[in-house]
Amino acid sequence: MPEGKIIERFLDDRRAAARISCPPTLVPAPGQYLLAHDPASDDPLAVPVFSAGLSADGFLAASPLPAAWIPGTSIHLRGPLGRGFALPAAARRVALAAWDVSSAYLLGMVTLALKQDAAISLICDEPPENLPADVEIRPLVALEETCQWADYLALAVTREGWRERVGNSDALNVPREAQVLIVTPMPCGGLAECGVCSVEVKKGMFLACEDGPVFGL
């Protein structure tokens, strides 16, 4: 199995939890994931790892990651897996909203949006530092208002948050082009059809690992 290595851990994990080196073909696109497992660990379950942006030797990984993955740890990687975000080429006003997860899950979208000269608003209550000056930061209470402005929304939320607060809410008027990344455990990545990752979206029940974890809103 292809290997990656933890090169660096970050104290402030709002930007990223770690830098992982790996072959370029393994780097997940924003919203996609790798299933990662430490072969030296007793824990049999793999951990889904999402990109928070690129690095010269691999990528920055969004938090949380196991605390035992310290610099020098080798991990087995499988992927990239799942459906990621698809930023419309015509999008010029991009809203990135982290509901109850780290905004790091969305930071890979910043480079893509800047490449197409889009204005970017990052909506979250705990923003990372050192973002490009072009990224406007707004609190979560401004989500509704920012949705009126945006022509594309990428939202990241836990499965619990989706169920309790967002998925059942008709109050959120999202732009025509809107996607949600539902963050949930995905231990088998579809291999064993464990069903642990099942999520309910408007069209019914789906497996986040295979049908998502990014869904249309």
Among 43, 126, 134, 193, binds ligand FES (CB under 6 A): 193
Rounded Cα–Cα distance for residues 51 and 112 (Å): 13
What is the full DSSP assignment across 133-168?
TTEEEE-GGGHHHHHHH-SEEEEEEEHHHIIIIITT
Stretch that binds ligand FES, among 12-20, 62-70, 169-177, 189-197 (CB under 6 A): 189-197
**Helical ranges in the chain per DSSP H:** 108-115, 143-149, 159-161, 208-211
Among 118, 207, 214, 217, binds ligand FES (CB under 6 A): 207
Stretch that binds ligand FES, among 14-22, 139-147, 171-179, 194-202 (CB under 6 A): 194-202
Nearest residue to the partner ligand FES, using Cβ: 209
Length of the chain measured in residues: 217
State the sign of the Cα–Cα–Cα–Cα dihedral 180, 181, 187, 188. positive
149-188 footprint of ligand FES as x/- string (CB under 6 A): -------------------------------------xxx
Residue 195 as a binder of ligand FES (CB under 6 A): the answer is: yes
Which residue, 70 or 205, is less far from ligand FES as judged by CB? 205
Structure tokens at 108: 């890979």
Structure tokens at 217: 């809103």
Residue 64 as a binder of ligand FES (CB under 6 A): the answer is: no
Q: How many residues bind ligand FES (CB under 6 A)?
A: 13
Rounded Cα–Cα distance for residues 186 and 171 (Å): 29
With DSSP H G I counted as helix, E B as strand and the rest as coil, what are the percentages for the chain, rounded to 5?
15, 35, 45
For the bound state, the minimum distance from the C-beta of residue 3 to ligand FES, rounded and expressed in Å, comes to 22
Q: Which residues bind ligand FES (CB under 6 A)?
A: 186-190, 192-197, 207, 209
